Structure 1
Amino acid sequence: MRLEVTCQDRVGLAKDILEVLEQHKINLKGIDASSLGYLYMQFADLNFDTLSELLPRIRKIQGVLDVRTTPFMPSEREHYALKTLLKTLPDGVFAIDAKGRISIVNDSALKILDMQEEEVLDESLNHWVQGFSFGRWLSLEEVTAQATRVSVGNKEYLVEALPVYLPNEEGDSILAGAVVAMKTPQRVGEQFSALQNQVAGFEKIKANSKAMKAVVKQVRKLAQLDAPLLLSGEIGSGKEIIAQALHEVSLRKEKAFITLSCASLSGSSEVKALFGEVDAKGLWHAGALQQANGGTLLLSEIDELSLDSQGRLLHFLQTTEALPHGSEKGKSANVRLVVATNQELERLCQSGQFREDLYHRLNQLNCQLPPLRLRREDILPLAEYFVDRYCQQLNKPVAHLTEACEELLLQYAWPGNVRQLKNAIFRAVSVLDDHRDITPELLKLPHYHQDFGYLDDEFDGTLEQAVKQFEANIIRRLYPSYTSTRKLAKKLGMSHTAIANKLKEYGISKPPITYTDS
C-alpha cells in the first residue's frame, strides 16, 4: 500500500508522520519526497479499519493538507520505466562505473556476451569487449562521448559510450561512470533506413504549434522501440494519426497496422476480436493480435476493455501468447502494441475498473496529445489541408476560407478537437456550389462555451427544457462512440432501460455516419 501526502514544507513533518506510523506498528518499506509539496510512503497492505483510523490522524498533523492512497510512488514508476525500457531495447546497453566495471546490463547485452547477469555484474567490461579501453577512457582528464568499432569474440559492433556526470553541492560535475550502447552493423543500417523514411510518416501531421512539435519529436524517438506505448488525450485529438505515423517510420513499417476499438466490443466478441477463436470444429480464427503479427496494433479506448480481456492482454505482454476464445492453448504473436485512451487510467486503477499491473505494463512509454484549443497555430494549416483534400475527393473546384471563417476557426473552443474540425470542413465543402469561398455559415458549428458546453443563441423555455436539451446533446455526442446501448448506459452510469427510454424520448436513432481517413 502507498500513501500520497500533500503537505507544506515544514521541518519535522516527516518525523511526525513516522511517529504516527510507529504508534500503529506499521513498518515503512519506502519513502519519497517531492519539492512540489508531496510526500510518498510505502508499507504493507492495511485492513480497512486500520486505514480508516490512520488517514484522519495523519491529516491532523500540522502542515498536512491531504492524504490519500496512490497506486505507486514516483521512484517506483521511474525505476520500473527504466528497467522495462532497458529490457525491451534491441541494442545491448551497459552501465559502467568510473573504473569500467559493469553495474547494469540489459537482456540484449547479455545475449551479445552469452552470459548470465550474475556472471557479469561488477566485472570489467573489457573482459569481453576488445578494441577500446573503457578504464583508460574514463581516467582521462576530460571524458567526452565516444563512438568506435569494437569486437566481442569474432563479431564486430559499433559502440557509443556516453559519460555520466553528477553535480555535487558546489555545482561542479563528478564523473560517475558511463552508459555504453552496442549495435550490430545490420542494426545501424536498419536505423539509418528508418530515419530516411521519417519525413513521409509524419508529413500528414500539422505541427506548427510548440505543443505539437514536442509530440512529434517525442514520437520519433519512440518509433524504433518495441515496448508498449500509451497515447492519452481528449476524443478526436489525433491519437490514431500519431499511432499510424509511428508505425510508418518504425522497423515494422512493411507489416500490418491494425486498429481495434475496445468500445465497440463486449463479452465473448471482445475476446474473439482481440485474441482469436477456436471454434467447435477446432478451426482457428485469427484475432487482431495475430492479424498484426510483425506489425503494430492500436487498441483505442483501452479503458473500455473488460477485466477478463485485461487479464488476457497482460498474459500476452508477459508471454507474447494470445489466449483465444474456446482454447487454453495460446497463439504467439510479435506485435508492437499502442493503446489509446481519453480517460485517466490511474483513477480507474484506484476504483478497480482497470488492472494496476496491466497499467504499469502499458505505461512503459507514454505520450500526452494536446487538445486543439491548446495548439491554435495548427488550426488554420489543418483546415486548409482538409479543404484541399475534400475538394479533390468530392471533385470540387479549389475552395478558400474567408477571413471571417478563419477568425471563427481560431476563436472556437473545438470540444471535438481535430475530428470535429475535419467533419466541419467536409460538411462545408460538400455543400459548396459555384462559389469557392467557405463562410462561417457553411461550417454549421454549434455554439459552445468551454465552461458551460453547447449553447443556443437564443433560449426560450423552462429550466427543465434546458436540462433536457443539454442531456440530449450529451447523449447525441456520445452515441457514435458507443454503438451498443449497454456500453453507452455504462458510460453514463444509467441502466440499460433508462438509456433506451432517453434515446426514444429525444428521437436519437442509430449513430450517424462519420467520415474518417481513408
Structure 2
Amino acid sequence: MRLAVSCIDRVGLAKDILVVLEGYGINLFAIDASNQGFLYLQFAEVKFDVLSELLPLIRKVEGVSDVRTVSFMPSEQEHYALKTLLKTLPDSVFSLDVKGRIRIVNESALMTLNMGEHEVVDESLNHWVQGFNFSRWLSEPQVLAQATRVNIGQSEYLAEMLPIYLPDEQDKSILAGAVVSLKSPARLGKQFNALQNQTAGFENVLAVSDKMKEVLVQARRMAQLDAPLLITGETGTGKELMARACHDASMRREHPFIAINCAAMPDSAAEEELFGYVSGGEVVKRGFFEEAKGGTVFLDEVAEMSKAAQVKLLRLLQDGTFRRVGGDVEVRSDVRIICSTQKNLAELCQSGEFREDLYYRIHVLSFHLPNLRDRKVDVIPLTEMFLEHYSQQLSIPIRRISAPCREHLLSYAWPGNVRQLKNAIFRAVSMWDGSAELTVEQLKLPSYAEGFGYFDHEFEGSLDDAMKQFEANILRRLYPAYPSTRQLAKKLGMSHTAIANKLREYKISKPKGS
C-alpha cells in the first residue's frame, strides 16, 4: 500500500501522521519526502474498511490538504528506471563504493564475468579486472575521472571511471564511490563505423568558411535536378557525404542510395556487380543498377572503373538501358548516377585511360569540394563537432581544446582532410586519460609539410647516408627485372662499370635462377 500526502512543509508533520498509523498498528516500510509539497508512505496492505477510516484521519492532520493511494513511490520509480536503463546498456557497468567493492552491476557486466549477481556484489572489482587499482584510485586525496586499458582474463577493454560526488550541507563534495564502464575494442569499432556510414543531409554538413558555404549553395540546387552529377575533390573531403546529402534532398530520397567504390572492385567482377549476371537464361545476380531502382547510384572513384564497365555505363547514360553479363535482354534502369573522383578526368581522357565520351556524360552537373587546407576556418568548428559527438557516444566528458592544440590544428596541412581530422579526434577521445583539455600529443598526428609530404622526426644519419639507402633500395627492386648489369645500366641511363661498382658496394648479388 502506498499513499501520496499533499501537505505543507511543517516541523512535526511526519510525526503526527506516524501517530495516526501507529493507532492502527501499521508498520511503515518506507517514506519519501518531496520538495514539491508531497509526502509518500509505504506500508503493508490493509483492508478497505481500515483504509476508509485511515484516510480521513490523515486529512485532519494540521498541514495536510489531501491524501490518496498511488501505484509507486518516487524512489521506486527512480530505482526501476535506473535498473531498466542499466539492463539495456550493451556495455558492462559497475557501481563501486569508496573501497572499490561492487554495489550495483548490470546484466552485460555479469555476462562478461560469466557470474551471477550474488557472486559479485560486495566483492572487489579487482578480483576480475586487472590493469588498474580501483581502491587505490578511490583513496587518493582528489579522485578524478580516468580512462585506461584493462584486462579480464585474455580480453582487453577500455575502462572509463567516473567518481560519484554528493553535496553536503556546506555545499562541499563528498565522495560516495564511482561508476565504471567497460567497452570492448569491437564495440568501439562498431560505434565508430556507425558514424562513418550514417546517412546525412545538408543540415549535417558543417560550413563556416565562404568556400564551403558556396559549395553547399551549388549542391542544394543541383540536388533537385535529375541529371548526372560529378563531385571532385581530394581524398577525405567528404564526397560520399555530399552525394548522400544530394540524394536526401532530391525527389528520389524515398528510394535506395547505393554507394559503390570502383577502386575496390576487381575488373573481372565489376560488370557483374554493376549490371548483374545471367546463366542458362536465368538471372543469377541482380546488379546495383537494378537494386537501386528509382534511387541513386554513387560511383566513388569512377576513374578506376574498368574499360568494359565504362562502355556499359556510357550506354546506360545514353538510353537508360543495359544488358546483364551473359544475357541479351535489354533492361531499363531508372536511377540517378552521381560520380566522384580525386583524379583529373580531363587529363585521363587525353592519355586514353578514361573514355572521353563517358566523361562528358557524367560531367553534366559538377561541383568541387575544397580541401581542408583551403578552408582552415572550418577546422576548429569541425574539431568541436567531432569532440562532442564522440564524447557523447563513448560517455566521456567533453574536453576543451588547449591553446597549443588550436594552433597545431590550424597550422597542420591535413593531407587526409576531414576524414583524417575525424579519425584523429576519435582516437584521442577513445583513449581519454582524464585530462580536461585536448592536447597536441593526444592527436598523434604524423609530421607533414606541404609540398614535401610526411617526414620522420627520428631520422638519424647524414643526407649522403639517406641517398645511398634510397639508391640501394632502387637497385634491389630493379635487379630481378633486369638481371644483367648491362640491362640494368641501360634502364637507369648509367655506364655498365658504374652499375657494377654500385652493386658491389651495396652487396647486391645476382638474382637466383637468372
TM superposition score normalised by structure 1: 0.50
Asked if the contact 1:289/1:322 (under 8 Å) is kept, the reply is no
**RMSD across aligned positions (CA):** 2.1
How far did residue 467 of structure 1 move?
A: 7.0
Equivalent position of 1:256 in the other structure: 256
Equivalent position of 1:283 in the other structure: 283
Distance 2:262 2:219 in 1: 23
Equivalent position of 2:292 in the other structure: 292
Partner amino acid, structure 2, of 1:350:
Q
Q: Is 425-434 or 272-281 further displaced after alignment? A: 272-281
Distance 2:287 2:434 in 1: 48
Partner amino acid, structure 2, of 1:225:
L
With over 3 angstroms needed to count, the CA separation of the structure-2 counterparts of 1:241 and 1:462, relative to structure 1, is same
Distance 2:430 2:465 in 1: 33
Partner amino acid, structure 2, of 1:327:
G
How far did residue 468 of structure 1 move?
A: 10
How far did residue 460 of structure 1 move?
A: 0.7
Equivalent position of 2:273 in the other structure: 273
Distance 1:278 1:392 in 2: 48
Equivalent position of 1:497 in the other structure: none
Equivalent position of 1:220 in the other structure: 220
SS of 1:208's partner is: coil
Deviation by residue 1:16-58 (Cα, 9 ceiling, x = unmatched): xxxxxxxxxxxxxxxxxxxxxxxxxxxxxxxxxxxxxxxxxxx
Instruction: Summarize the alignment of residues 10-409 of structure 1 with structure 2, pairs less than 5 Å apart.
Output: 201-280=201-280, 282-409=282-409
How far did residue 280 of structure 1 move?
A: 4.6
Distance 2:247 2:446 in 1: 35
Distance 1:337 1:431 in 2: 40
With over 3 angstroms needed to count, the CA separation of the structure-2 counterparts of 1:466 and 1:420, relative to structure 1, is farther
SS of 1:405's partner is: helix
With over 3 angstroms needed to count, the CA separation of the structure-2 counterparts of 1:443 and 1:250, relative to structure 1, is same
Partner amino acid, structure 1, of 2:356:
E
Partner amino acid, structure 2, of 1:313:
L
Q: Which runs of 5+ in 1 are unaligned?
A: 1-199, 472-518
Moved over 4 A (4+): 462-471
Deviation by residue 1:193-251 (Cα, 9 ceiling, x = unmatched): xxxxxxx8212111100110010000111111111001011111111111111111111
Task: Tell me the percent identity.
Answer: 48
Deviation by residue 1:344-384 (Cα, 9 ceiling, x = unmatched): 00100011100000000011111111100000111111111
Deviation by residue 1:66-93 (Cα, 9 ceiling, x = unmatched): xxxxxxxxxxxxxxxxxxxxxxxxxxxx
Partner amino acid, structure 2, of 1:293:
K
How far did residue 395 of structure 1 move?
A: 2.5
Partner amino acid, structure 2, of 1:245:
A
How far did residue 469 of structure 1 move?
A: 9.7
Deviation by residue 1:91-134 (Cα, 9 ceiling, x = unmatched): xxxxxxxxxxxxxxxxxxxxxxxxxxxxxxxxxxxxxxxxxxxx
How far did residue 322 of structure 1 move?
A: 2.7
Partner amino acid, structure 2, of 1:276:
G
How far did residue 470 of structure 1 move?
A: 9.4
Distance 2:225 2:208 in 1: 26
With over 3 angstroms needed to count, the CA separation of the structure-2 counterparts of 1:393 and 1:323, relative to structure 1, is farther
Distance 1:312 1:268 in 2: 14
Asked if the contact 2:263/2:304 (under 8 Å) is kept, the reply is yes
Q: Give the paired residue count.
A: 272
Decide which structure has the larger Cα Rg and report it: 2
How far did residue 391 of structure 1 move?
A: 1.4
Equivalent position of 1:107 in the other structure: none
Equivalent position of 1:439 in the other structure: 439
With over 3 angstroms needed to count, the CA separation of the structure-2 counterparts of 1:469 and 1:231, relative to structure 1, is farther
Partner amino acid, structure 2, of 1:433:
D
Distance 1:393 1:429 in 2: 10
Asked if the contact 1:454/1:470 (under 8 Å) is kept, the reply is no
With over 3 angstroms needed to count, the CA separation of the structure-2 counterparts of 1:275 and 1:452, relative to structure 1, is same
With over 3 angstroms needed to count, the CA separation of the structure-2 counterparts of 1:206 and 1:305, relative to structure 1, is same
With over 3 angstroms needed to count, the CA separation of the structure-2 counterparts of 1:470 and 1:410, relative to structure 1, is farther
Q: Is 311-320 or 450-459 further displaced after alignment? A: 450-459
Distance 1:316 1:452 in 2: 42
Q: Which runs of 5+ in 2 are unaligned?
A: 1-199, 472-514
Asked if the contact 2:281/2:327 (under 8 Å) is kept, the reply is no
With over 3 angstroms needed to count, the CA separation of the structure-2 counterparts of 1:207 and 1:268, relative to structure 1, is same
